[in-house]
């Protein structure tokens, strides 16, 4: 008779294959393929009258997976639950444990309250939980030596978040149906993210642009090598009559402050008069040289990785996290859902040895470099994101995007243990003596930077451009080739990009790093916002939803309240707060608010955008742009009396280079803008840029 195998259970088939290579024939590795049990999709699934009891149901599409796990578990000697090392993974492990210890309930459509209450802990001693933060042979083997029970504090934190979000969503959505538009839904954290975008749009519209003029000088200095040479460089005006040439102003924003600057010249006449008084010669009045040091940044956390993916490659948070998930499951990087900047001692030692061997001892930091986390509500249990093997700089089998992300992670993590870069900064101040003036009226500044030692920049492969100034000394007279005047204007605070929205959510302590991508995807899918050239702007529907929520459920969409709820969930995870007690406290107030709003709140009308054209059918109505299930469309404002509709086509401002008809703006499923022909499908010209 063959000996019994050990069973190890993970979520992902890819993860199962990777771990299967490390473990011998004594192990069978199977995957749950995500969650097996969850709240029902068609109803709340939380009993508000019986202390928030949860009606968990087995996913109908996972019946075969569940049966396979139960069958394998019955034949296994030991069962190890090796789901991801976070609250979600701990909850999945708990659900698997529940199904394996009570197999008779796995095929039931509904489980009784008595069965739900059954705690699987200690009912099957051969089931245990293991966790690891990297999928390597040594990490998995080490985890098997430290098997434990499922951490119910983490499970309760996940259940608390799930129930809180479900209760808020299922309570608010019917109200939105009645008071705004049918078919709408709201979420606890998503609504706050939406409010950030809506408030930013209001701040942009409220901003008053002001013209101003910048002054720069093209200076030239004779240099002497074998023959006379002239070197041209630029200098910026920074002082006028010993006062700054620029004025800073601040604007209070919903999520902080926005600082902008303008010059002291508000009219063309003022700047022309000033420039007209300048002499063609400048005197070097100050010359300072100093050595500066530039240090490497911390290794990536989840939020910083999403920000880097957005800024460097134009990826959405969802795309970055999907790629990171693939790298993790293949055993190439440590767990990618983390807000810790810590590195293990083993990893630090490997990085330092690698740098010494590949680049020389002078490139290794004198002391082990450690970083302090400044993120709000940061959890330090995990490591930062890093490669599992420093020697594996260019792994085989990755596609172009996976390799880009992997190398980004590799360079950032390894560079943390490299020596700082050393630079030489030269600051030169030039004084211009206008005609008829006794003292220096105008001061210009030029800054030069040169590399003394590249240090970590060599490992990180960061580009560095030197700004070289000619050799000069105080008192030298420098001639000006030209003084330039550039018209500019103050800019409003920018719309959120993927990176800046994630940065704001992290700064305010809203959501967890692992939820940022899904938060943004959700408000996009609900058509509350649209992505335009990588920036988010609210739709009329999104504005109406926020207007209603702010007026009637201010707490739900306030930054402090949302951050406080995250802190309470963290307290649950640490075993300091009972999640049902947290829910009771929240529901006592929220239930009354919902009932009051249903009875007394006024309906909010969704604004529509007029096209300026008359309806071709009824001739009386105006054509307006509406938002439907599949995006924007054109209809008559007399609907339902007139039912005219047409496809919405946003003019691109050029004619199709192939057929000559009007070009239009289109969008991919992910919201990325591209250009096409209005005569599609007869003409299939398309491109990312205007021709």
Q: How confident is the model at residue 374 (pLDDT cuts 50, 70, 90)?
A: low
Residue 653, pLDDT score: 81
Q: Above 60 in pLDDT, residue 377?
A: no
Q: Above 80 in pLDDT, residue 208?
A: yes
Residues near 197 by Cβ (< 8 Å), separated by ≥ 6?
495, 496, 501, 523, 529, 536, 537, 538, 542
For 220-236, what is the mean pLDDT?
74
Q: Above 80 in pLDDT, residue 631?
A: no
Which of 49-53, 62-66, 99-103, 559-563 is the least confident region? Answer: 99-103
Rounded to the nearest 5 degrees, what angle is found at the Cα of 11, between the Cα atoms of 4 and 185?
Answer: 150
Q: Above 60 in pLDDT, residue 521?
A: yes
Mean of the per-residue pLDDT values for the chain? 89
pLDDT one-digit tens code per residue, 236-245: 999 998 899 9
pTM of the model: 0.86
Q: Which among 419, 408, 369, 413 is positioned nearest to 390, based on CA atoms?
A: 413
Q: How confident is the model at residue 660 (pLDDT cuts 50, 70, 90)?
A: confident
Residue 641, pLDDT score: 85
Residue 671, pLDDT score: 59
Residue 533, pLDDT score: 79
Q: Above 60 in pLDDT, residue 449?
A: yes
Contact 519, 566 (CB under 8 A): no
Structure tokens at 475: 């008192």
pLDDT one-digit tens code per residue, 534-552: 899 999 999 999 999 999 9
DSSP code at position 3: P
Task: Report, as residue numbers or ranges, the catalytic residues.
Answer: 335
**Would you call 19 exposed, middle or buried from its count of C-beta atoms within 10 A (0-12, 13-18, 19+)?**
buried
Q: Above 80 in pLDDT, residue 107?
A: no
Q: How confident is the model at residue 204 (pLDDT cuts 50, 70, 90)?
A: very high
Residue 627, pLDDT score: 75
pLDDT one-digit tens code per residue, 142-196: 999 999 999 999 999 999 999 999 999 999 999 999 999 888 889 899 999 999 9
Q: Above 70 in pLDDT, residue 360?
A: yes
Dist CA 583 CA 160 (whole Å): 7
For 420-428, what is the mean pLDDT?
96
Dist CA 667 CA 680 (whole Å): 14
Query: In percent, how much of the chain has pLDDT > 90?
Result: 67
For 358-362, what is the mean pLDDT?
96
Contact 624, 635 (CB under 8 A): yes
Structure tokens at 148: 């434990």
Q: How confident is the model at residue 513 (pLDDT cuts 50, 70, 90)?
A: confident
Q: Above 70 in pLDDT, residue 632?
A: yes
Dist CA 414 CA 294 (whole Å): 16
Q: How confident is the model at residue 227 (pLDDT cuts 50, 70, 90)?
A: very low
Q: Above 70 in pLDDT, residue 630?
A: no
- Cβ atoms < 10 Å from Cβ of 397: 8
Which of 119-123, 594-598, 667-671 is the least confident region? Answer: 119-123
Which domains are delineated in the chain? Answer: 6-150 (3.40.50.140), 162-206+496-600 (1.10.460.10), 211-295+423-489 (2.70.20.10), 302-419 (1.10.290.10), 609-687 (no CATH)
pLDDT one-digit tens code per residue, 3-48: 578 999 999 999 999 999 999 899 999 999 989 999 998 899 999 9
Give pairs for 445-452: CB < 8 Å, separation 24+.
Answer: 445/235, 445/236, 445/238, 446/219, 446/233, 446/234, 446/235, 446/236, 449/423, 449/424, 449/425, 450/423, 450/424, 450/426, 451/421, 451/422, 451/423, 451/424, 452/291, 452/422, 452/423, 452/424
Output the DSSP codes for 211-222: EEEEEEEEEEEE
């Amino acid at each position: 008779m063959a000996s019994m195998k050990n069973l190890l259970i993970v979520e992902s088939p890819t993860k199962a294959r990777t771990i299967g290579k490390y473990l011998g024939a004594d192990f069978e590795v199977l995957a749950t393929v995500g969650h097996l049990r969850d709240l029902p999709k068609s109803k709340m699934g939380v009993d508000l009258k019986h202390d928030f009891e949860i009606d968990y149901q087995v996913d109908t599409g996972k019946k075969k997976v569940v049966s396979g796990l139960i069958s394998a578990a019955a034949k296994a000697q030991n069962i190890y639950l090796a789901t991801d090392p976070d609250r979600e993974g701990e909850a999945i492990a708990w659900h698997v444990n529940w199904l394996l210890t009570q197999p008779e309930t796995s095929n039931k459509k509904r489980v009784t309250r008595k069965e739900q209450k059954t705690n699987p802990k200690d009912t099957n001693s051969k089931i245990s939980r293991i966790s690891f933060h990297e999928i390597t042979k040594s990490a998995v083997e080490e985890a098997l030596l430290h098997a434990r029970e499922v951490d119910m504090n983490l499970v309760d934190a996940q259940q608390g978040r799930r129930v809180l979000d479900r209760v808020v969503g299922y309570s608010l959505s019917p109200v939105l149906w009645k008071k705004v538009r049918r078919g709408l839904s709201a979420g606890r954290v998503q609504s706050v993210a939406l409010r950030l975008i809506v408030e930013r749009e209001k701040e942009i519209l409220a901003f008053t642009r002001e013209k101003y003029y910048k002054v720069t000088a093209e200076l030239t200095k004779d240099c002497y090598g074998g023959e006379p040479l002239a070197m041209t460089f630029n200098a910026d005006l920074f002082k006028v009559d010993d006062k700054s040439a620029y004025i800073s102003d601040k604007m209070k924003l919903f999520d902080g402050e926005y600082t902008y600057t303008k010059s002291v010249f508000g009219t063309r006449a003022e700047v022309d008069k000033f420039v007209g008084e300048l002499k063609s010669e400048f005197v070097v009045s100050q010359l300072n040289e100093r050595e500066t040091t530039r240090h490497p940044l911390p290794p990536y956390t989840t939020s910083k990785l999403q920000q880097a993916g957005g800024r460097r490659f134009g990826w959405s948070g969802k795309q970055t996290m999907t790629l990171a998930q693939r790298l993790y499951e293949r055993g190439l990087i440590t767990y990618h859902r983390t807000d810790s900047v810590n590195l293990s001692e083993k990893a630090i030692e490997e990085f330092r040895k690698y740098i010494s061997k590949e680049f020389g001892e002078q490139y290794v930091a004198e002391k082990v470099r450690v970083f302090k986390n400044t993120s709000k509500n940061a959890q330090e249990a995990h490591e930062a994101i890093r490669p599992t093997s420093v020697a594996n700089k260019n792994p085989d089998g990755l596609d172009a995007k996976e390799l880009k992300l992997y190398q980004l992670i590799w360079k950032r993590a390894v560079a943390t243990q490299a020596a700082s870069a050393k630079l030489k900064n030269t600051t030169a101040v030039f004084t211009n003596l206008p005609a008829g003036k006794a003292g220096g009226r105008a001061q210009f500044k030029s800054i030069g930077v040169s590399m003394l030692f590249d240090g970590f920049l060599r490992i990180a492969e960061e580009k560095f451009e030197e700004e070289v100034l000619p050799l000069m000394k105080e008192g030298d007279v420098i001639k000006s080739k030209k003084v330039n005047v550039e018209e500019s204007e103050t800019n409003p605070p920018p719309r959120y990009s993927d990176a800046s929205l994630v940065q704001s959510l992290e700064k305010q302590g809203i959501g967890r790093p692992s939820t940022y991508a899904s938060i943004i995807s959700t408000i996009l899918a609900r058509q509350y916002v649209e992505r335009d050239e990588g920036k988010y702007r609210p739709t009329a529907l999104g504005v109406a939803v926020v207007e209603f929520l702010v007026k009637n459920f201010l707490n739900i969409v306030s930054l402090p309240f949302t951050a406080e709820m995250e802190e309470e969930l963290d307290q649950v995870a640490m075993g300091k707060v009972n999640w049902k007690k947290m829910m009771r406290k929240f529901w006592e107030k929220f239930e009354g608010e919902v009932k009051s709003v249903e009875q007394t709140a006024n309906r909010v009308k969704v604004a529509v955008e007029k096209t300026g054209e008359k309806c071709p059918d009824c001739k009386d109505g105006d054509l307006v742009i509406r938002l439907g299930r599949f995006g924007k469309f054109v209809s008559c404002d007399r609907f339902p009396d007139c039912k005219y509709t047409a496809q919405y086509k946003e003019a691109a401002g050029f004619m199709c280079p192939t057929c000559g008809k009007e070009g239009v703006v289109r969008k991919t499923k992910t919201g990325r803008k591209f250009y096409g022909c209005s005569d599609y499908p007869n003409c299939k010209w398309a491109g990312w840029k205007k021709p």
